[in-house]
Structure 1
């Protein structure tokens, strides 16, 4: 998959780019990893904001990209001017589901 300059602009030009559930899959394709690196690099140069959510710790990004150097390059740019938030605890979705189950009357 090769993106045209016009298609790449759609990822680079917005004031804010949100990448939700990054690395939900345990491994992403090489072309996707290269695209992620290009997007992060270009947005970094233009000082455009990126919000990334992930359940994966940054120490494992090299494993998911299958390239530790690429992971370091991406993280270097992301973390240079970032505010990193880390949350611990159980999933709110699972908590809500458990609460619904607990208040559901038993079937006869």
Structure 2
């Protein structure tokens, strides 16, 4: 948990978080969930990076989004996956609709299309190396 200008921020790399959360003792999971729900901003980074998540992680995601929605707490989600495919990644279209409905009710959707900056930088580095060789 970080504090940004007096606001509590939870940043989660989602694949790593879901794996660690599932393996944590119950008391630790409850404390972690409480901290996530109480934070002013939750950042879920790289959601569906590995395309699918376990059923328990899907249920946890739905709980997080639902509870934060009820509490009027902000959520930022980053993903390279289009929202139309979230049902397939969750393995449950109804759950996907529930999550997206709450996320998008008061959202600002930003879509970026173009080349990856990482790939662009790597290509530039390779071009410089081959030019200097």
TM-score, normalised with respect to structure 2: 0.76
**Match in the other structure for 1:93:** 118
Unaligned runs of 5+ in 1: none
Match among 65, 88, 108 for residue 63 of structure 1? 88
Of Structure 1 and Structure 2, the greater strand share is in 2
SS class of match (1:19): strand
Q: Which has the higher contact order (CA 8 A, sep 6+)?
A: 1
Deviations 1:3-27 (A, max 9, x none): 32x3311211100000110000111
CA distance in 2, matches of 1:51, 1:75: 12
- Kindly indicate whether residue 108 of structure 2 is the aligned counterpart of residue 83 of structure 1: yes
**Match in the other structure for 1:14:** 39
Shift of 1:103: 1.1
**Match in the other structure for 2:51:** 26
CA distance in 2, matches of 1:85, 1:55: 12
Deviations 1:59-90 (A, max 9, x none): 00000000000000000000000000000001
- Kindly indicate whether residue 39 of structure 2 is the aligned counterpart of residue 39 of structure 1: no
Unaligned runs of 5+ in 2: 1-21
SS class of match (2:50): coil
**Match in the other structure for 2:97:** 72
After the TM superposition, which segments of 4 or more aligned residues of structure 1 sit over 4 Å from their partners?
A: none
